[in-house]
Structure 1
Amino acid sequence: MADLFATEEQAPHAPESAAGPLADRLRPQRLEDVVGQEHLTGPEGAIGRMVAAGKLSSIILWGPPGTGKTTIARLLADAVGLRFVAISAVFSGVADLKKVFAEAKEYARLGRRTLLFVDEIHRFNRSQQDGFLPYVEDGTVTLVGATTENPSFELNAALLSRAQVLILRRLDHEALTLLLDRGEALEARPLPLTPEARDALVASADGDGRFLLNQAETLFSVRFEAPLDPAGLSNFLQRRVAVYDKDREGHYNLISALHKSVRGSDPQAALYYLARMLTAGEEPLYVLRRLVRMAVEDIGLADPNALVQCLAAKDTYEFLGSPEGELAIAQACLYVATAPKSNAAYTAQKAAWRAAKETGSLMPPQNILNAPTRLMKDIGYGKGYTYDHDAEGGFSGDDYWPEEMAPQTFYTPTDRGHEKRIAERIAWWNEMRERRRDDGRKSGE
């Protein structure tokens, strides 16, 4: 039977061409040779256990680029004796999927099951993802999907419920170094780098093994009179651009890290995450909006100037533009990170909003209502109101709450920063209010 995807099916067993890319020539032939993912491929890992049992369930491989998702899928098919078919959601549509499923059914009737590897599965829309369900459920295919995006946001709940999500780790320094060692052994010569430059090359890969090997291949292709130092390497190779999609999970991870670093009063970490976002191309005004939010949510009246600083940074950036205006953003970031922290205003706002919804349309007490007409005066509007500026200490101590509602405490200032002074002021007012009430009770006796 002609196989529409014969090339993909044969790929796990095909010998690598000596002239092929270094990354392909170094592609592992056994699961245990995959670097950096031992938590999955080892004897106690989910993949290791599946292979040992000889039974593979549908899985979603979630991880950064260049961490071995495609390689693991190929080796899984080989390890459990499944026919391997690979498609990419970028280049495939409904017609392609129908052909894959039809062929898989034919092979299933002949007693051979199919592992369908779907690269970038998150790029299929919801209805296309639903199209996998019947074929996964009846065993026509064992699905292995690969994604760099959070499956919780990008994949249907129905599909997720039928697949196990396995998380691949970003390749660390040790794993990347091992890849370079293998590349040098295959080429039978060392990279033309000093030890310091070799470390710099590993760091520049940003956890992406494929990128690292492609850079190494470029270095192997050129003859140098002497090993390159870090500066020479930087001049020869373009530095990797950080993986960052402004509408994807990486965006939300970094803004979360920035916010929590500010809240945790770590100016060094906050400045680092700010730099990560801006150097990756984040819109500076978005970062400024988030800094303004931090100023009112996590600092508030503990340092009212934090909000002023953030708004001034916004004005400065709009006036100067990039890159000069980014210094103002950095200054605002450092200010909010080093400011005393309080979420008292934030919690007070939520509590007050909740009370307002629960109490409906209660009328304020009549003594604080305006009385612009004679009728309103006649029925008591404004009667008994005390003008605070005429009272002793500029404070009357009147009750401003609706008669049907007991006084509430929404805002409780902390003892940090400016709020410590506010707390002392409120305590004095409370004491004066209670004293006036006592005086009122005594005069009424």
Structure 2
Amino acid sequence: MADLFGDLAPPTPPAVDTPLADRLRPQGLSEVVGQDHLTGPEGAIGRMVAAGRLSSIILWGPPGTGKTTIARLLADAVGLRYAQISAVFSGVADLKKVFAEARDHARTGRRTLLFVDEIHRFNRAQQDGFLPYVEDGTVTLIGATTENPSFELNAALLSRAQVLILHRLDAAALGELIARAEIEVGRDLPLTAEARAALIASADGDGRFLLNQVETLFAVDLSEPLDPAGLSALLHRRVAVYDKDREGHYNLISALHKSLRGSDPQAALYYLARMLTAGEEPLYVLRRLVRFASEDVGLADPQALVQCLAAKDAYDFLGSPEGELAIVQACLYLATAPKSNAAYKAQKAAFK
């Protein structure tokens, strides 16, 4: 059995049956799409590579944005040995083994870049185990996480690494991935221009998801290009990415609040739908709307609070899904209502 933590074998051309996303993995940092703020000449990673010196890094970003690819390419770019583990499948014994191997290689003058996928899955004690090896240069740590490092990683570990944020891939970057897939396969994607735009929008910035959908489309024998309706009928809908007690939860409720404060009913309804369809507890959303009615609408429209409490009563009476219409009504009322936080400010001043 091959050593999980040993040196990587020389790269070989991908097999024909290799998933399209793997066949299209970039071979150099210049081929990474959508992260120019990091990998470009003026980006943090670009500057490190140009200097030939790499510090420990935590790559924080959504799935399918290139964290694993960037880590692998960084090792090649600065001439480090590459080792990879996943916090999901690894324990203390695995960590001891990879550190021992890295120390052996360090004695011969060859440093190791250790890529830890899902690093937030390690507990605090396991994270502390990285500290001496990072400090003495045995390993250069590259951690990848989809969760906020400030919440999930030890302060001691964060003080020894830079946190670099990867963005969701924009439409241009996703379009570039489709173009590369078409070159790889040797034919155009069987979609109309409108369906192509719908496919890009459905990916929600996830390059891996997009390429998996593209691979499905290439595998289907189609007599003519699909329009948006045909595309929707053929491909499954992307499952909403949401966690009820972690980063996604707080990001979406924050986005809902900002949309309401900005009097943007379309955006507010979008974020409300994202939460409810992903399984958020409707009563939690109602509590936030009631609070918003008092804090941000207040005396500018006292009926806002009445509307939200009525929506709560309607939901208690009807349940889901019928009662969710009352939540939508309250959300749209708040978004279009005049705003005033005078009562909120007065309370804060009086309670000092």
TM-score normalised according to structure 2 size: 0.96
Name the counterpart of 1:75.
73
Measure, in 2, the Cα distance between the counterparts of 1:14 and 1:27.
13
- Aligned residue pairs total 351
Measure, in 2, the Cα distance between the counterparts of 1:22 and 1:63.
22
C-alpha displacement of 1:18: 2.1
Name the counterpart of 2:99.
101
C-alpha displacement of 1:138: 0.4
In the TM superposition, 1:104-115 aligns within 5 A as: 104-115=102-113
Q: State which of 276, 293, 296 in structure 1 corresponds to 2:294.
A: 296
User: Is 1:187 aligned with 2:152?
Assistant: no
Map Cα deviations across residues 383-440 of structure 1 (whole Å, 9 max, x no partner).
xxxxxxxxxxxxxxxxxxxxxxxxxxxxxxxxxxxxxxxxxxxxxxxxxxxxxxxxxx
User: Is 1:155 aligned with 2:150?
Assistant: no
Q: State which of 82, 87, 90 in structure 1 corresponds to 2:88.
A: 90
Q: State which of 194, 197, 200 in structure 1 corresponds to 2:198.
A: 200
In the TM superposition, 1:194-233 aligns within 5 A as: 194-233=192-231
Measure, in 2, the Cα distance between the counterparts of 1:37 and 1:324.
43
Q: RMSD of aligned C-alpha atoms?
A: 1.5
Map Cα deviations across residues 79-110 of structure 1 (whole Å, 9 max, x no partner).
11111111111111111111111111111112
Cα contact 1:12–1:78 (8 A) shared by 2: no
Q: Name the larger-Rg structure.
A: 1
Measure, in 2, the Cα distance between the counterparts of 1:141 and 1:188.
41
In the TM superposition, 1:27-426 aligns within 5 A as: 27-354=25-352
The one-letter amino acid paired with 1:126 is: R
C-alpha displacement of 1:310: 0.7
Measure, in 2, the Cα distance between the counterparts of 1:267 and 1:228.
32
Identify if the C-alpha distance between structure 1 residues 306 and 12 changes in structure 2 by more than 3 Å, giving closer, same or farther. Answer: farther
Measure, in 1, the Cα distance between the counterparts of 2:299 and 2:19.
59
Map Cα deviations across residues 99-136 of structure 1 (whole Å, 9 max, x no partner).
11111111111211110000111111111111111110
Measure, in 1, the Cα distance between the counterparts of 2:36 and 2:261.
35
Identify if the C-alpha distance between structure 1 residues 28 and 11 changes in structure 2 by more than 3 Å, giving closer, same or farther. Answer: farther
Measure, in 2, the Cα distance between the counterparts of 1:116 and 1:350.
50
Map Cα deviations across residues 176-234 of structure 1 (whole Å, 9 max, x no partner).
01101111101111122122211111111111010111111111112112221111111
Measure, in 2, the Cα distance between the counterparts of 1:226 and 1:268.
34
Identify if the C-alpha distance between structure 1 residues 4 and 331 changes in structure 2 by more than 3 Å, giving closer, same or farther. Answer: closer
SS at match of 1:171: coil
SS at match of 2:82: strand
SS at match of 1:10: coil
Cα contact 1:12–1:74 (8 A) shared by 2: no
Greater relative contact order (CA < 8 Å, ≥ 6 in sequence): 2
Name the counterpart of 1:426.
none
Q: State which of 24, 38, 51 in structure 1 corresponds to 2:22.
A: 24
Measure, in 2, the Cα distance between the counterparts of 1:177 and 1:265.
32
The one-letter amino acid paired with 1:213 is: L
Name the counterpart of 1:364.
none
User: Structure 1: 5+ residue runs without aligned partners?
Assistant: 355-445
Measure, in 1, the Cα distance between the counterparts of 2:263 and 2:297.
11
Identify if the C-alpha distance between structure 1 residues 14 and 137 changes in structure 2 by more than 3 Å, giving closer, same or farther. Answer: farther
Cα contact 1:5–1:85 (8 A) shared by 2: yes
Cα contact 1:114–1:140 (8 A) shared by 2: yes
The one-letter amino acid paired with 1:20 is: T
